[in-house]
Amino acid sequence: MCAIVTGPDGRSRCAWVGDDPVYRRYHDEEWGVPLHGDRALFEKMALEGFQAGLSWITILRKRPRFREVFEGFDPVRVAGFGEQDVERLMADAGIIRNRAKIDATISNAALVREMADGEFDDLMWSFAPTYPATRDPRPDSMAQVPAVTPESTALSTALRRRGFRFVGPTTMYALMQSAGMVDDHLAGCWRASAG
């Protein structure tokens, strides 16, 4: 498989994008772009948890509905969800209906809610690699991009100690990529040259 694909707009992108316009937009506007804020990072954590065992494109396509039923991923509101909310979510075909993941999202929201404003953001970003987030040299293929790093393992461990669930090292590395804590755009990708 080629490492780079050229889209209909003539831009070269990481090949995992394929020809899907939803993936193109996500790749171009979000993946590898630094993201801050307790709510925004809680949403990333929740969606990465729901993604476990599934494809990310499935989550992206369902993200608008996830945002709607999880009240914009406001940790205060989600932490207040009860059993009726869980049943409502389990009946909603517009999201991933997995009780363990729904329960984890609610309990993770309660943990974020207990933190001071900005503390969750600070915690998450404290595990960003100490080397420059932009790799030099850039990887030539996704085979050169790790699935787990010492930083994602340390982040996972720290979160689990606090009681967070669905935050394994692989899931946390995907979050680090998505939230721009690392930038794994491949050599030849227009985003790699965009800085």
Q: Taking each helix axis from N to C terminus, what angle separates 56-69 and 21-29, rounded to the nearest 10 degrees?
A: 80
Could you read off the pLDDT of 19-44 as tens digits, one per residue? 999 999 999 999 999 999 999 999 99
Is 14 labelled as part of a ligand binding site? yes
List active site positions. 26, 48, 56
Q: What pLDDT score does 1 carry?
A: 57
pTM of the model: 0.94
Distance in angstroms (rounded) separating the CA atoms of residues 26 and 33: 10
Judge whether 185 is annotated as a binding position.
Answer: yes
2 is in an annotated binding site: no
Structure tokens at 125: 């970003």
